[in-house]
Amino acid sequence: MERAIVHMDLDTFFVSCERLQESKLNGIPVIIGGGDRGVVASCSYEARYFGVRSAMPIKMALKLCPDAKIIRGDYERYSKFSKEVTEIIQEKVPVLEKASIDEFYMDLSGMDQFFGCYQWTKEIAESVTKNTGLPISFALSTNKTVSKIGTGESKPVGRFEIPAKNINSFLNPLSIRKIPMVGEVTFQLLSRVGIRKIQTLAEMPVLVLQQMIGKNGAELWKKANGIDLNPVIPYSERKSLSKEHTFTNDTMDIFEIKRLISEMAESLAYQLRQEKWLTSTVVLKIRYANFDTETKQMKISYTSIDHTLARVALDLFEKLYTRRMRLRLVGLRFTNLVHGTYQMNLFEDSEELMNLYQAMDRMKNRFGKNALGRASGFELASG
């Protein structure tokens, strides 16, 4: 049975949410982001016309489009809209994967014998817009890669079907940048040897690609040829991430306790970014030697960055640890999670800080999560 895989993407999601709140934003350039040293989290098509794009420094965006309306953004509001859309789609499809706050995959394989898959998908998209007011685009094909590329090519408010027989003719003329796993480094590497179109990449020998870019060469070749067997993974919302440490000997060593809290915050923040989550609530737990257990929590703006989460966790410890007693256990939990592709708090963080965290994460992905970290989280060698 030929698979029927749909990719749906809410168009300029953050901007669309803001326009539902304020109709005066319709038809004008809008940039979602924060601070003069911040970066663009999202922007309207009117702003993109001037060359503005996501992750661009706000200052540069304003030089390109000085008349743009800057909005700081409300991730909690966007999360609520995302949840509404998820519930609408989930009621209508057999298998749903929520890839990010504004992006979904559906497996409709076999449903065409009851109802045309394209027509079914079209009605789902119309239902989303009717019930939420949010514009949404989709593409239907035989796998996730082709469907995702198709959605990008169909925007805004696109409806696209790419049958198996048309996959290669659809992909071949496109830039290799359109392949989801091709980042800037890979694009520059391939460009230097004249590989800029998907067709050229698809015709390359697999072994040559593997020699050029490593183990991902074979996977990249498959995607260029429209081959992707990855399944649609049923959606389930994670509630929280947590870590606990029980001391071998009960302790009052404040320096060591704070070091441990910093290390846990950094480790959990890295996990948030790898799984593409943001948290809005930090919970600290301590257990005294007499087994009395106390917790304290703080609500924060959605984020997944180490320094913010570590600072909040340490502040909670200062407020929570009020007895001069030894501690048996300390624990840290991040809860009220929302899914998103925005790995940093784009409404607050500078481009330099974003680049630093992305570089650190690449090093951890390559050499292990303990390969590097903040000095405050490392245990100092004695002697």
Q: What does pLDDT average to over the chain?
A: 87
Q: What percentage of the chain reaches a pLDDT higher than 70?
A: 87
At 347, is the pLDDT very low, low, confident or very high (cuts 50, 70, 90)? very low
Does residue 295 share a domain with residue 329? yes
Minimum mean pLDDT range among 91-95, 282-286, 366-370: 366-370
Does residue 91 share a domain with residue 29? no
Does residue 330 share a domain with residue 246? yes
Residue 233 falls within a domain, yes or no? no
At residue 116, the pLDDT reads: 86
At residue 54, the pLDDT reads: 86
Q: What percentage of the chain reaches a pLDDT higher than 90?
A: 65
Does residue 65 share a domain with residue 93? no
At residue 234, the pLDDT reads: 86
Q: Is the pLDDT of residue 344 over 60?
A: no
Q: Is the pLDDT of residue 145 over 60?
A: yes
pLDDT for 75-117, tens place per residue?
888 889 998 999 999 999 989 998 888 999 999 998 776 678 9
Bridge partners (DSSP) listed for residue 184 = none
The dihedrals phi and psi of 182, each to the nearest 5 degrees, come to -90, 105
What tokens does 213 get?
């870019």
Residue bearing tokens 């800080």: 353
Bridge partners (DSSP) listed for residue 245 = 330
Does residue 367 share a domain with residue 260? yes
At residue 238, the pLDDT reads: 77
Does residue 88 share a domain with residue 65? no
Does residue 290 share a domain with residue 359? yes
User: What pTM value is reported for the model?
Assistant: 0.76
Does residue 180 share a domain with residue 155? no
**Active-site residue flag, 22:** no
Residue 364 falls within a domain, yes or no? yes
* CATH for 90: 3.30.70.270
Q: What is the three-state SS of the chain?
A: CCCCEEEEEECCHHHHHHHHHCHHHCCCCEEEECCCCEEEEEECHHHHCCCCCCCCEHHHHHHHCCCCEEECCCHHHHHHHHHHHHHHHHCCCCEEEEEECCEEEEECCCHHHCCCHHHHHHHHHHHHHHHHCCCEEEEEECCHHHHHHHHHHHCCCCEEECCHHHHHHHHCCCEHHHCCCCCHHHHHHHHCCCCCEHHHHHCCCHHHHHHHHCCHHHHHHHHHCCCCCCCCCCCCCCCEEEEEEEEEEEECCHHHHHHHHHHHHHHHHHHHHHCCEEEEEEEEEEEECCCCEEEEEEEEEEECCHHHHHHHHHHHHHHHCCCCCCEEEEEEEEEEEEECCCCCCCCCCEHHHHHHHHHHHHHHHHHCCCCCCCHHHCCCCCC
Residue 234 falls within a domain, yes or no? no
**Cβ–Cβ < 8 Å for 122, 133:** no
Does residue 345 share a domain with residue 251? yes
User: Is 102 annotated as ligand-binding?
Assistant: yes
* Residue tagged active-site, from 18, 103, 263, 348: 103
**Cβ–Cβ < 8 Å for 277, 258:** no
* CATH for 313: 3.30.1490.100
* CATH for 43: 3.40.1170.60
Q: Is the pLDDT of residue 10 over 90?
A: yes
Q: Which of 75, 93, 115 is the last residue of a domain?
A: 75
Does residue 98 share a domain with residue 43? no
- Angstrom distance (rounded) from CA 352 to CA 340: 21
Which of 79, 81, 51, 77 is closest to 64 using CA atoms? 51
Residue 371 falls within a domain, yes or no? yes
Mean pLDDT across the stretch 298-307?
Answer: 86
At residue 349, the pLDDT reads: 52
At residue 374, the pLDDT reads: 55
326-357: burial string, b at 16+ Cβ within 10 Å, e else: ebbbbbbbbebbbbbebbbbbbbbbbebbeeb
pLDDT for 219-230, tens place per residue?
999 999 999 999
Q: Is the pLDDT of residue 2 over 80?
A: yes
Residue numbers of the domain that contains 33: 13-75
Residue 342 falls within a domain, yes or no? yes
Residue 231 falls within a domain, yes or no? no
User: Is 9 annotated as ligand-binding?
Assistant: yes
**Cβ–Cβ < 8 Å for 252, 324:** yes
Residue 43 falls within a domain, yes or no? yes
Does residue 137 share a domain with residue 39? no
Residue 383 falls within a domain, yes or no? no
Does residue 248 share a domain with residue 203? no
Q: Is the pLDDT of residue 173 over 90?
A: yes
Q: Which of 48, 75, 102 is the last residue of a domain?
A: 75
